[in-house]
């Protein structure tokens, strides 16, 4: 299977790899997927009092497309408000990376990851 140049670029030079302090009240963590399914994504966002995402970090266990989807996602969410970040759709990610149909689930996982991270932050703030 041939990968798109964008997948290869993110895979070879993944952006924003790492961890944020998961116990900080400004940090939301979303961990989705399962080892048994072959992919686990952990996305963390650091959000200021104006609801703007100041930093994002990820780590992913999974195929090249899963790594690229999460790397791209961290680039996209930085500087966005929580409201804007919720609008990111898996189809946008799949389109940007030109994922083949068999890899679309990687982009779905990325969408799940940002939603989970936002939910985590909101529950820490007592908003949900």
Nearer CB in complex with another protein: 19/48? 19
Closest residue by Cα to residue 46 from 67, 22, 70, 13: 22
Among 10, 16, 28, 32, binds another protein (CB under 8 A): 32
Nearer CB in complex with another protein: 28/62? 62
- Among positions 46-85, residues that touch another protein (CB under 8 A) are 59-64, 66-67
Q: What is the DSSP string of the chain?
A: -PPPHHHHHHHHS-SSBS---TTSTTEEEEEEEEGGGTEEEEEEEEE-TTSBEEEEEEEEES-HHHHHHHHHHHHHHTT-BHHHHHT--HHHHHHHHT--GGGHHHHHHHHHHHHHHHHHHHHHTT--
Does residue 2 bind another protein (CB under 8 A)? no
Residue 106 a catalytic site member: yes
Nearer CB in complex with another protein: 40/97? 40
Pairwise CA distance, residues 126 & 119, whole Å: 10
Q: Which of 19, 34, 37, 98 is catalytic?
A: 37
Among 4, 9, 15, 17, binds another protein (CB under 8 A): 17
- Among positions 89-108, residues that touch another protein (CB under 8 A) are 102, 105, 108
Q: Which residues bind another protein (CB under 8 A)?
A: 1, 3, 11, 14, 17, 19, 31-42, 59-64, 66-67, 102, 105, 108-109, 112, 116
């Amino acid at each position: 299977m041939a990968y798109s140049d964008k997948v290869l670029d993110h895979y070879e030079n993944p952006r924003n790899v790492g961890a944020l302090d998961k116990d900080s009240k400004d940090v939301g963590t979303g961990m989705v997927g399962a080892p048994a399914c072959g992919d686990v994504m952990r996305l963390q966002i650091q959000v200021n009092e104006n609801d703007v995402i100041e930093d994002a970090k990820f780590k992913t266990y999974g195929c090249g497309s899963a790594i690229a989807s999460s790397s791209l996602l961290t680039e996209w969410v930085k500087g966005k408000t929580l409201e804007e970040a919720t609008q990111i759709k898996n189809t946008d990610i799949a389109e940007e990376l030109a994922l083949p149909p068999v890899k679309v689930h990687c982009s779905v996982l990325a969408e799940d990851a940002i939603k989970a991270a936002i939910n985590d932050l909101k529950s820490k703030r007592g908003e949900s």
